[in-house]
Chains A and B, each alone.
Chain A
């Protein structure tokens, strides 16, 4: 008994301490980036100013003046919001069909959808650029970016929604049918309210992926529809001496999405299961 008591007293202290250390360790790079963004470029590489320095907003002022941060940020918000909305608009009916009216091919269709995500984007970059620039003339438009972001996130979104919908008892949906509700009514009035938590976390994840996407958004835009990843692209050249500026741009690019993630972390913790929890 004595051993057990001692053991638990030890773990009562050691366990939280270890958990805090791990948490702080994982957060440290982000903390470091934010801290460095308040240093001048010269101070940022001096060991004597590692933690104690005179903070400055110079980098942020410089960024909004010279790089037009707000335009990139606005574009990021626009394309992420619309792409997420469109993905859900197409994805919800599709996942509904798969979850409640599965056929023998449903599993294969789902897997095929996921496999489209594994195709290397670089392989089709040239055809895509050619197609959108020379034939369709939609290069560097919000429409194109929204469409592409929707398409690359659709497989994951459908899969996530599918796993939530599958947990809903079929009887509830069937009951709706008895009451003479049509398919759209079923989705709108029964499915969406029931699966609201799952839909919200799917939307959140989709939004995060849209915001962070950096392959197509960089290569299919020049100025009009350029998002924050394009701003990073333009600032990340190997100019080792500009850590302050680099950190400020990076902080401004990831700040909104990280804060959004913090506010919605409960939703994510409960919702991000991909059908892993029975």
Chain B
């Protein structure tokens, strides 16, 4: 089997590079997570240099676990990732089925649909939070204002006026607020990544067995049962892939959260780390280690979900 040695060695550059990329920062993070290490401290200047004499044991971990933001950040991370996955998969399937049939302008619609995927995440966030979702200057604000004016005018109308006078005045939603900022992030990332799901599902639909479908039609299967019993099972593997790739990207979501609310009530784990890292490197590092553990748990489940089919 010696003729296999060289070909196998070909993967070493990639493995070594990634090992360095992971191990150097990870070991530094691990080290910092066990010592007291802050960037600025007038009271204890000795803490501003990383040194073993500032050993803190699991103190940083305790500090993080007792921080009220920590649990919230984990919850938020999971909420945001799961919601995005849910919506992109549903919309992705619906849209892929919708544009899989040929119709006039199919090519153009396809181009329009996949465009959001190319947009820079930072631009995506700036665009949505300011120009679309802003409660005063954004389209949301303008639309709510416009609707209110229409309702106001209708109230003056004869005959039907009484009906509209029962309607309440609409108020725009502020998406920078604590409770709603996660929703804004979910909206904008879903907009950006639905095209990705559409792309993958569309390619998969094109490889669907048409003879099987024709046979089903001859047997009198309706559109719904065709979708339910032929198309959906066929999409099982692509769905797993879409979930996996997106989980990888969205667990480290950062720019969107920063731009929407500066983490106000909406911190995910990466953002919390960034916040700690403004001064308390020890706590940031301990949180980083927790995030590594979370990533490994997710990776474990993804592996079970996808690993089996990966090597086939």
Contact = CB atoms under 8 A, between A and B. Distances in A.
Contacts, number: 286
Given A22-B113, A127-B25, A269-B202, A29 B252 contact: no
Interface stretch (B40-48, B95-103, B151-159, B160-168): B95-103
Contact of A27 (B98, B113, B247, B273): B113
B14 A91 contact: yes
B105 A101 contact: no
Interface stretch (B1-9, B54-62, B178-186, B224-232): B1-9
B4 to A, nearest CB: 5
Contacts of A102: 311
A122 B199 contact: no
A126 B238 contact: no
Nearest to A86: B17
Contacts of A36: 131
B14 A90 contact: yes
Contacts of A117: 248-249, 252
Given A29-B132, A211-B120, A121 B252 contact: yes
Nearest to B16: A90
A171 B66 CA distance: 59
A50 B252 contact: no
Nearest to B291: A120
Interface of B: 4, 6-11, 13-15, 17-18, 21-22, 24-26, 28-29, 32, 95, 98-99, 101, 103-106, 108-123, 126-128, 130-132, 134, 136-137, 139, 142, 145-146, 191, 194-196, 199-200, 202-204, 207, 237-238, 241, 244-245, 247-249, 251-252, 254-255, 259, 269-271, 273-274, 277, 281, 284-285, 287-289, 291-292, 295-296, 298-299, 302-303, 307, 310-311
7 contacts: A15-B98, A98-B11, A116-B18, A118-B295, A123-B284, A258-B118, A268-B114
Given A94-B13, A119-B26, 17 more contacts: A20-B109, A23-B99, A26-B112, A33-B127, A91-B14, A97-B11, A106-B311, A113-B18, A117-B248, A124-B25, A126-B32, A155-B18, A156-B248, A250-B123, A262-B111, A268-B114, A273-B238
